A and B are shown apart, each in its own frame.
Chain A
Amino acid sequence: MNERIKRLRELSVDTAPSVSPERARLVTEYYRSTEGEGLSEPVRRAQVFRHIMANKELYMDPDELIVGERGPAPKAAPTFPEICVHSMEDLEMLDSREKIPYSVDDDTREIFENEIIPFWRGRSQRERIFGVMADDWLKAYEAGIFTEFMEQRGPGHTVLGDKIYRKGFVDIRNDIANSLEGLDKADPNYSKKAEELKAMDIATDALLRYAKRYADKLKDMAIVEDDPSRKANLQLMASICEKVPANPPETFREALQYYWFVHVGVITELNPWDAFNPGRLDQHLYPYYRKEMDEGSLTEEQARELLQALWIKFNNHPAPPKVGVTAKESATYTDFALINLGGLKPDGTDGVNELTYLILDVIEEMRLIQPSTMVQVSSENPDGFLKRAIDIIKTGFGQPSVFNTDAIIQELRLQGKGLEDARAGGASGCVEAGAFGKEAYILTGYFNLPKVAEITLNNGLDPQTGIMVGIDTGDPASFDSFDEFFEAFGKQLNHFIDVKIEGNLAIERMYAQHLPVPFLSLLIDDCVEKGMDYHEGGARYNTSYIQGVGLGTVTDTLTSVKVNVFEEKKVGMHGLLEALKNDFRDNEGLRDTFVNQTPKYGNDDDVADDVMKLIFEAFFTAVDGRPNTRGGEHRINLLPTTVHVYFGSVTGALPDGRRAGEPLSEGISPAQGRDRNGPTSVLKSAGKIDHIRTGGTLLNQKFTPQLLADRKGIDSLAWLIRAYFRMNGHHIQLNVVTADTLREAQLHPEKHRGLIVRVAGYSDYFVDLTKGLQDEIIERTEHSET
């Protein structure tokens, strides 16, 4: 990388994240000044957005090639008081907590104390949500049965398609005007649609103004700049900001700047989950790259430098500061923008191109935790592509992760998406399949499957608190067979899913009603055409997900009940409950039986894997197809981010031999240390999941570097991945590091600041992880040759 990029990268990496009061202040100022005006919510939200974009500080480093920051400077993270108003205690905790801190200076504290908190207390979405949730919901939430994604962040979970490469904002404005003109005044929803379209128009104006402000500022800077090359750069950037987003981009650089303006817009309007994401970057940019390379107006080095500048932009944007359970479930600065490479073109042919490899070079050279990156691997893609990705993975910073395009397309097709929409899709966030540019696929919360087993064992009672959180499904000591036990488990599961979905429906309405997103709606088909907000169901496809967590642990738990209690009768139900209550104290023999002499998921053992299939069916049936309020349906996926640590902390000892408080298994990986037959058996067990009926599964495998030291190792890993994908596996991610290295880093974090590991669907600095999570990563079975 050249000096310019090196300097910008260092600035990005070395700057500590901080809380910026700028956005909260502008939002508060606007709401205060318009109180009592009879504005519709969409219009009010669009005007808030415009007020921010018209007044926020314009950050500009003289070396930058792409402009635009969410905060007033890199790593300065704004807050979103209309959703979650941080209290003084929250700010203190953010500033002082050991892991994932955000510094908060005195001025910021003062602004929060005097302006922001007094205005928003009692009016934020978070307070609204907790205020109306039913008692059953609150009890389950507090017991750690499920989490709630929307309690402090907006539903985003979406990815941009190819719209901005075809249309400028002037074109989009025309589309809005046409849509408005085409409305039928007899339509009972006429005024609602008209207000939404007016709001969208204001939102286009907001981004155009923001770009214009940059163009003016860059021109001013160019006038006073003495250095001729800097001057030329500033002039060029000024002209780019005048061209995009108003008009469709015509060059590689215009395309990148256009995307970045849109990105800043989406993550400033609200704080949507997974930030925003250009999706299939190599597909979208390739036509510009090819054309300019052929014309001679762009060199490979220039393209590389511009991409590196974009990477730094992503890294400048830590996730908005989280609090409470959400901070535990998602303990990371990463904001989950996941760039997709490879895969298929809409016509079904190999999508890998020259630019794909150039972007892989950029990933390798930049070594940043953001953006997250992944390769989509289809049977149509060449092996060389997969092996180049493994080359980067083996350098050990957890990127890129590897996805099965052919499975993703089948998943999306099964959900009723068009073939071309499915091929133009991919995975975002951690592993979630989506139709890019056309789908609102909202993750609503993690669901603690092993906790449901614990509650079944206690007939609805949570033994951690003594509170009745579930329903009466009978004293398990009275059950004569595993079938009876499983039926009770199914009833508890259905009960909690009902409670969760009831909450989801209410929360979805609250976002549609109070916090519409007219700017995001401009970008996702078919919101403009329908005159309907993204939160209301304006997208072409509308999915709500519940993410199952702890599949390995719950499988081992129910397998142990089946085998040890009902079949081999090694322990009675009373004896079992007593041992669990005492966390196996004085009962190590029984625990040894559970751990070492009972079939476990992850070993290609059908006794355990058949139980896994039963659980999968029960979870799938409980969730899949249940309608949401946006014209779509609920579906399942299986991924944890970091919630398996939190969920483990609220779950007592289990019949799989896991002690109270220990982490649950993560994703669809086997429980930590319980896979003892090597990676092929893990893949075989995981391959028995019906991935195609999910919206994504997450499988974590750790390899030591020496396994991938030579060509042969890389070939073997490529074959392993291909074989897993032939079993329809959705995704696999690889940690390449030794446990010794990790232990060393735990003891001497100062020596290992740069050590990046794969956590779950994203990579993070190891020393930034909590002790519990660090231990858990070390524990994950290390597969090395013996």
Chain B
Amino acid sequence: MTVFLKGCPLGCLWCHNPEGIAPGLDEFGRIISVQELMTEIEKDRPFMDESAGGVTLSGGEPLSQPEFLVSMMRQCRDSGIHISLDTCGHAPADAFDATLDLVDLYLYDLKFMDDELHRRYTGVSNGLVIRNCKKLDELDRKTLIRFPVIPEITGTAENIRDIGDFISSLNNIKTVDLLPFHRTAEGKYERMGIENQLKGVDPPSEDDVAIAKRILGGYGLEVLVGGSA
């Protein structure tokens, strides 16, 4: 099962969960204690046991609620529940490092290696993103890099090569999952009455995705598309 935690320090133009960006309680969230959440999670136990699955923490950015996150992940670990953390990586080093012994799998987003572009499209520098990613590599934590392919934004040949350069410079992390841009969030933008700056942008063609896959494959990386080989 997936738990969405509210609040995100980034503001990516292509965000497909815009309802998770604002912190605090609004029409999209509810206040829940760690204990209540654990009760909900336990309800799904039979399905986790059968599929060797577990809980995925996503958002928003789960690390924007670090205390809650660590507290519930500790309980999951004690109950033998597998934890995946879906993160943009933009979190202070101490908050990030507090998760290192609690997470079974990091789903770690990389968007741009160029700091200027990172700032332009997400609103923040990629300094922490790179620092935290290197930390995962250094400690050899199980990590799947996720790279959103957005035509003419992240999907330029130059950016893809930058990403390839960076991942191949790491020692342990060797897998990248391409997430082709899709439009399923368009309705959410409309309903929420916020401007969709990517309105009219088409999803990448199969060729675009194949090219990205080939470039990254050229760096000796294992490349998945949408989670599949």
A interface, CB within 8 angstroms of B: 604, 680-681, 683-684, 687, 710-712, 715-716, 719-720, 722-723, 726-727
Q: Give me 17 other A-B pairs in contact (C-beta within 8 A), A680-B44, A716-B51, A720-B47 excluded.
A: A680-B1, A680-B43, A684-B43, A684-B46, A687-B46, A712-B227, A712-B228, A715-B51, A719-B47, A720-B50, A722-B50, A723-B46, A723-B47, A723-B49, A726-B46, A726-B49, A727-B46
Give the chain A neighbours of B46 by CB distance below 8 A: 684, 687, 723, 726-727
Count the A-B residue pairs with Cβ separation under 8 angstroms: how many? 32
Instruction: Output the least CB separation between A533 and chain B (Å).
Output: 46
Give the chain B neighbours of A716 by CB distance below 8 A: 51
Interface size of B by Cβ–Cβ distance < 8 Å?
11
Give the chain B neighbours of A681 by CB distance below 8 A: 43
Give the chain B neighbours of A604 by CB distance below 8 A: 43
- For chain B residues 142-162, which have a beta carbon within 8 Å of chain A? none
Q: Contact check, B44 vs A719: say whether CB atoms are below 8 A apart.
A: no
Q: Contact check, A726 vs B51: say whether CB atoms are below 8 A apart.
A: no
Bound complex: CA of A726 vs CA of B50, how far in Å? 9
Name which residue of chain A comes closest to B52, CB basis: A719
- For chain B residues 93-135, which have a beta carbon within 8 Å of chain A? none
Instruction: Output the least CB separation between A248 and chain B (Å).
Output: 43
- For chain B residues 23-67, which have a beta carbon within 8 Å of chain A? 43-44, 46-47, 49-51, 53
Give the chain A neighbours of B227 by CB distance below 8 A: 712
Closest 4 CB pairs of A and B: A719-B51, A723-B50, A723-B46, A723-B47
User: Can you list 22 pairs linking A and B with CB atoms under 8 Å apart?
Assistant: A604-B43, A680-B44, A680-B47, A681-B43, A683-B47, A684-B43, A684-B46, A710-B228, A712-B227, A715-B51, A719-B47, A719-B50, A719-B51, A720-B47, A722-B50, A723-B46, A723-B47, A723-B50, A723-B51, A726-B46, A726-B49, A726-B50
Give the chain B neighbours of A723 by CB distance below 8 A: 46-47, 49-51
Name which residue of chain B comes closest to A721, CB basis: B50
Bound complex: CA of A680 vs CA of B48, how far in Å? 11
Bound complex: CA of A710 vs CA of B227, how far in Å? 11
Q: Contact check, B228 vs A711: say whether CB atoms are below 8 A apart.
A: yes
Name which residue of chain A comes closest to B1, CB basis: A680
Bound complex: CA of A221 vs CA of B50, how far in Å? 59
Give the chain B neighbours of A722 by CB distance below 8 A: 50
Give the chain A neighbours of B228 by CB distance below 8 A: 710-712
Give the chain A neighbours of B47 by CB distance below 8 A: 680, 683, 719-720, 723
Give the chain B neighbours of A727 by CB distance below 8 A: 46
B43, B44, B46 — which one has the most chain A CB atoms within 10 A of its CB?
B46
Give the chain B neighbours of A711 by CB distance below 8 A: 228
Give the chain B neighbours of A719 by CB distance below 8 A: 47, 50-51, 53
Bound complex: CA of A608 vs CA of B25, how far in Å? 29
Give the chain B neighbours of A683 by CB distance below 8 A: 47
Bound complex: CA of A442 vs CA of B210, how far in Å? 60
Name which residue of chain B comes closest to A684, CB basis: B43
B47, B49, B53 — which one has the most chain A CB atoms within 10 A of its CB?
B47
Give the chain A neighbours of B50 by CB distance below 8 A: 719-720, 722-723, 726
Give the chain A neighbours of B44 by CB distance below 8 A: 680
Give the chain A neighbours of B51 by CB distance below 8 A: 715-716, 719, 723
* A interface footprint on B215-229 (CB within 8 Å = 1, 0 otherwise): 000000000000110
Name which residue of chain A comes closest to B227, CB basis: A712
Give the chain B neighbours of A720 by CB distance below 8 A: 47, 50
Give the chain B neighbours of A710 by CB distance below 8 A: 228
Instruction: Output the least CB separation between A699 and chain B (Å).
Output: 15
Instruction: Output the least CB separation between A542 and chain B (Å).
Output: 36
Give the chain B neighbours of A687 by CB distance below 8 A: 46
Instruction: Output the least CB separation between B48 and chain A (Å).
Output: 9
Instruction: Output the least CB separation between A751 and chain B (Å).
Output: 29
Instruction: Output the least CB separation between A453 and chain B (Å).
Output: 28
A687, A711, A723, A726 — which one has the most chain B CB atoms within 10 A of its CB?
A723
Give the chain A neighbours of B1 by CB distance below 8 A: 680
Give the chain B neighbours of A726 by CB distance below 8 A: 46, 49-50
Instruction: Output the least CB separation between B41 and chain A (Å).
Output: 12
Bound complex: CA of A683 vs CA of B45, how far in Å? 12
Give the chain A neighbours of B53 by CB distance below 8 A: 719
Bound complex: CA of A716 vs CA of B1, how far in Å? 12
Give the chain B neighbours of A680 by CB distance below 8 A: 1, 43-44, 47
Instruction: Output the least CB separation between A598 and chain B (Å).
Output: 19
Instruction: Output the least CB separation between B54 and chain A (Å).
Output: 13
Instruction: Output the least CB separation between A599 and chain B (Å).
Output: 14
Instruction: Output the least CB separation between B144 and chain A (Å).
Output: 15
Instruction: Output the least CB separation between A590 and chain B (Å).
Output: 26
Bound complex: CA of A726 vs CA of B43, how far in Å? 14
Name which residue of chain B comes closest to A720, CB basis: B47
Name which residue of chain B comes closest to A724, CB basis: B46
Instruction: Output the least CB separation between A268 and chain B (Å).
Output: 46
Bound complex: CA of A684 vs CA of B45, how far in Å? 10
Instruction: Output the least CB separation between B222 and chain A (Å).
Output: 17
Give the chain B neighbours of A684 by CB distance below 8 A: 43, 46
Bound complex: CA of A722 vs CA of B50, how far in Å? 7
Name which residue of chain B comes closest to A715, CB basis: B51
Bound complex: CA of A711 vs CA of B47, how far in Å? 18
Instruction: Output the least CB separation between A601 and chain B (Å).
Output: 15
Name which residue of chain B comes closest to A604, CB basis: B43
Instruction: Output the least CB separation between B66 and chain A (Å).
Output: 28
Give the chain A neighbours of B49 by CB distance below 8 A: 723, 726
Give the chain A neighbours of B43 by CB distance below 8 A: 604, 680-681, 684
Instruction: Output the least CB separation between B207 and chain A (Å).
Output: 20
Name which residue of chain B comes closest to A722, CB basis: B50
Bound complex: CA of A727 vs CA of B227, how far in Å? 30
Instruction: Output the least CB separation between B184 and chain A (Å).
Output: 9
Bound complex: CA of A326 vs CA of B138, how far in Å? 72
Bound complex: CA of A722 vs CA of B46, how far in Å? 9
Bound complex: CA of A475 vs CA of B2, how far in Å? 49
Bound complex: CA of A720 vs CA of B53, how far in Å? 11
Bound complex: CA of A722 vs CA of B53, how far in Å? 13
Name which residue of chain A comes closest to B51, CB basis: A719
Bound complex: CA of A625 vs CA of B228, how far in Å? 53
Name which residue of chain A comes closest to B43, CB basis: A604
Bound complex: CA of A710 vs CA of B228, how far in Å? 10
Instruction: Output the least CB separation between A114 and chain B (Å).
Output: 64
Bound complex: CA of A681 vs CA of B47, how far in Å? 10
Give the chain B neighbours of A715 by CB distance below 8 A: 51
Give the chain B neighbours of A712 by CB distance below 8 A: 227-228
Bound complex: CA of A564 vs CA of B53, how far in Å? 38
Name which residue of chain A comes closest to B46, CB basis: A723
Instruction: Output the least CB separation between A713 and chain B (Å).
Output: 11
Instruction: Output the least CB separation between B97 and chain A (Å).
Output: 32
Name which residue of chain A comes closest to B50, CB basis: A723
Name which residue of chain A comes closest to B47, CB basis: A723
Bound complex: CA of A726 vs CA of B44, how far in Å? 13
Instruction: Output the least CB separation between A681 and chain B (Å).
Output: 8
Instruction: Output the least CB separation between A675 and chain B (Å).
Output: 14
Name which residue of chain B comes closest to A723, CB basis: B50
Bound complex: CA of A681 vs CA of B40, how far in Å? 11
Instruction: Output the least CB separation between A126 and chain B (Å).
Output: 47
Instruction: Output the least CB separation between B18 and chain A (Å).
Output: 14
Name which residue of chain B comes closest to A786, CB basis: B184
Bound complex: CA of A604 vs CA of B43, how far in Å? 8
Bound complex: CA of A243 vs CA of B49, how far in Å? 53
Bound complex: CA of A774 vs CA of B46, how far in Å? 33
Name which residue of chain A comes closest to B40, CB basis: A604
Bound complex: CA of A720 vs CA of B50, how far in Å? 8
Instruction: Output the least CB separation between B46 and chain A (Å).
Output: 5
Bound complex: CA of A604 vs CA of B1, how far in Å? 15
Bound complex: CA of A253 vs CA of B16, how far in Å? 59
Bound complex: CA of A722 vs CA of B47, how far in Å? 8
B50, B53, B228 — which one has the most chain A CB atoms within 10 A of its CB?
B50
Bound complex: CA of A719 vs CA of B1, how far in Å? 13
Instruction: Output the least CB separation between B188 and chain A (Å).
Output: 10
